[in-house]
């Protein structure tokens, strides 16, 4: 009669089912080796739903961003990350930090000053009344209706890229 069953990973008939050892703390914890990466956050619209998509790019440039823009994209912004693997307590962990974020860049669309929205709201369209309320509540002097129809705040530092 068989009293036990031995599972083997090799031909010895013996299996090592022990938990793998955690890495040992190095005698001297090395300084982190930081890696710099560049990304573009694409602001998109599909139907009534807005969403974002992040793409790695070789550098934060208008050309690099425009190369990954599609018809759903109404705007984007760049950011740069600094990441490293560092020793934390008893293991290496990935850590990261955003070190640079650009203003938002809007492709096409139309920028409206608050006075333009006031004039449109006087015509009685509820959409413009709601926009005017939002602008006053959030202290926005300008908004943009994007090329996909979304309304977004347009801040002083934001960039409007005109479409031909």
Residue 7 has pLDDT above 50, yes or no: no
Express as a percent the part of the chain with pLDDT over 90: 63
Q: Residue ranges of the domains in the chain?
A: 35-105, 110-161
pLDDT band at 3 (very low <50, low <70, confident <90, very high): very low
Separation of alpha carbons 89 and 101, rounded Å: 31
User: What b/e string do you get for 71-110 counting C-beta neighbours within 10 Å, with b at 16 or more?
Assistant: eebbbbbbbbbeeeeeeeeeeeeeeeeeeeebebbbbbbe
148 CB-side CA count, 13 A: 19
Beta strands in 6-104 (DSSP E): 35-46, 49-57, 73-88, 91-101
Mean confidence (pLDDT) of the chain = 86
Q: What is the DSSP letter of 26?
A: P
pLDDT band at 75 (very low <50, low <70, confident <90, very high): very high
Bridge partners for 50 per DSSP:
45
Separation of alpha carbons 150 and 52, rounded Å: 14
Look at residue 94 in the predicted model and tell me its pLDDT. 85
Strands 91-101 and 105-107: unpaired
CA separation, residue 81 to residues 64, 95, 107 (Å): 16, 10, 24
Residue 140 φ/ψ region, left for φ over 0, alpha for ψ in the -120 to 50 degree band, beta for the rest = beta
Look at residue 33 in the predicted model and tell me its pLDDT. 86
Residue 6 has pLDDT above 50, yes or no: no
Q: Please state whether the predicted TM-score (pTM) of the whole model is above 0.85.
A: no
What mean pLDDT comes out for the span 4-12? 46
Residue 5 has pLDDT above 70, yes or no: no
Residue 87 has pLDDT above 80, yes or no: no
Separation of alpha carbons 66 and 107, rounded Å: 9
Q: Which of 141, 3, 134, 143 is nearest to 75 (CA)?
A: 143
């Amino acid at each position: 009669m068989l009293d036990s069953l031995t599972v083997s990973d090799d031909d010895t008939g013996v299996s090592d089912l022990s938990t793998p050892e955690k890495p040992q703390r190095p005698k001297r914890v090395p300084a982190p080796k930081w890696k710099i990466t560049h990304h573009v956050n694409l602001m998109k619209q599909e139907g009534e739903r807005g969403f974002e998509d992040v793409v790695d790019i070789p550098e934060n440039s208008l050309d690099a961003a425009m190369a990954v823009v599609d018809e759903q994209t109404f705007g984007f912004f760049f950011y740069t990350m600094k990441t490293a693997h560092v020793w934390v307590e008893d293991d290496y962990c990935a850590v990261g930090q955003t070190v640079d974020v650009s203003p938002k860049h809007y492709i096409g669309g139309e920028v409206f000053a608050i006075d333009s929205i006031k004039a449109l709201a006087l015509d009685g369209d509820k959409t413009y009344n709601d926009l005017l309320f939002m602008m006053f509540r959030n202290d926005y002097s300008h908004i943009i209706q994007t090329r996909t129809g979304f309304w977004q705040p347009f801040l002083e530092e934001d960039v409007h890229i005109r479409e031909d």
